[in-house]
Amino acid sequence: MKNLIKPLEWRNGVLELLDQRKLPLEEVIVECHNLEDAFNSIKDMVVRGAPLIGYTGIFGMALYAKSENLSIEEISKAADYLNSARPTAVNLGYELGRCVEMAKECYEETGSFSSLEEKLVSFGFAQLEQIHKDNLEMAKIAKADLESKFGKRKYRIMTLCNTGYLACGPMGTALGVISHLASNDQIEHVYASETRPYMQGIRLTSYELKKQNIPHDVVVEGSFSYLMKNKLIDAIFIGADRIVKNGDTANKIGSSTLSIVAKHYGVPFYVVAPTSSFDFDADTGSSIPIEMRDQDEILFCKGMRIAPEGASALNPSFDVTDAAFIEGIICEKGLISPVSTNELLRVTGRS
Ligand code: MRU
């Protein structure tokens, strides 16, 4: 992809994040110099998207590893602190858990944490390289499945929120499927749901699609039924913040509604996410913590109040799509379809 600024960079010991709150109007870099900066950048959504906040967690721990006289207890506490920045996406806790393991190994091997920063930075970059390969693999699996269903042709694809390189590392997950199809000249049109209230669809997905010259329209969440009743969509691809053992999937608010409408009109609804988004400790979606965000994200638009004084809003940031409404879950290990605990465990190789 050309002309794309990386969402995350490590330069001279500083974590640089592309401020996604300012896109698409401004491309501004925020510098993180310590753990607190990394925590605030995740919490305030300078950086966002499940895989990317996981990687930010790794580099945030690398910043913390610069501190002197650390103990493993302090490192674990720092990881817990970073993990509390956003509760729904499991990737953050997953990557932070691996950082703590690395810290333990580092101490066992060298008797100190002096090489931990360097080890964590290499780990972070290795993860970004691996996710690029995984994203491409998932895109190929999705393309093959579409071709088996509809034949090899151009498709009309719908997506929600932002699952591109800004959220998921090189290529992206669900949006990576769209990029891959486009690079094979197999996209007729994309419908990107605007994704209220934070507008990841209109601000970020449209920004990425424009940079790649992929034909698309942004649509409002209220259009789901219109689009499918009028047969404008062949298939839907979304990402995931947490997929539990039975296949129930937490994703951006609106995903569950989209899946129900898709089921009603017989449009295949796919989830695309790496295995770092799977939570095998939870049996069903009812145990997934749902982040409640500030009501002002709904009541205000670009700093201007649009609701009457005294009005309040409820702002759950995610919902849980029932496994029954998902045609297939695509991870780097393969396609999980039908979506069931057995298939999920079989394809991922977990027990
Ligand atoms: O609140 P966000 O923007 O961090 O939400 C995460 C998401 O981008 C979506 O839920 C996405 O579909 C899963 S992460 C690629």
Domains and CATH numbers, the chain: 8-128 (1.20.120.420), 134-348 (3.40.50.10470)
Q: 């979506």: which residue's tokens?
A: 339
Grouping H, G, I as helix, E, B as strand and the rest as coil, residue 235 is strand
Helices 50-64, 72-83: inter-axial angle, 10-degree rounding: 150
The structure's pTM equals 0.95
The rounded Å distance from CA 200 to ligand 1 centre is: 8
Q: What is the mean pLDDT of residues 225-233?
A: 98
Contact 285, 245 (CB under 8 A): no
168 lines ligand 1 (CB under 6 A): yes
The rounded Å distance from CA 166 to ligand 1 centre is: 10
**Mean residue pLDDT across the chain:** 96
Q: How far is CA 301 from CA 28, 153, 206, 254, in A?
A: 20, 40, 19, 19
56 lines ligand 1 (CB under 6 A): no
- 294 Cβ neighbours under 8 A, 6+ residues apart: 315
Contact 290, 88 (CB under 8 A): yes
Give the tokens for residue 40: 């605030």
Quote the CA–CA distance of 140 and 272 in Å, as a whole number. 11
The rounded Å distance from CA 68 to ligand 1 centre is: 35
Residue 1 has pLDDT above 70, yes or no: no
200 lines ligand 1 (CB under 6 A): yes
131 lines ligand 1 (CB under 6 A): no
Q: 């700093």: which residue's tokens?
A: 303
How much is the pLDDT for 63? 98
> Which protein residue's CA is at the shortest distance from atom 7 of ligand 1?
49
State yes or no: is 319 an active-site residue.
no
273 lines ligand 1 (CB under 6 A): no
Round to the nearest angstrom and report the end-to-end CA distance of the chain.
Answer: 38
Give the tokens for residue 178: 């769209």
Q: pLDDT by residue (tens digit) across 8-62? A: 999 999 999 999 999 999 999 999 999 999 999 999 999 999 999 999 999 999 9
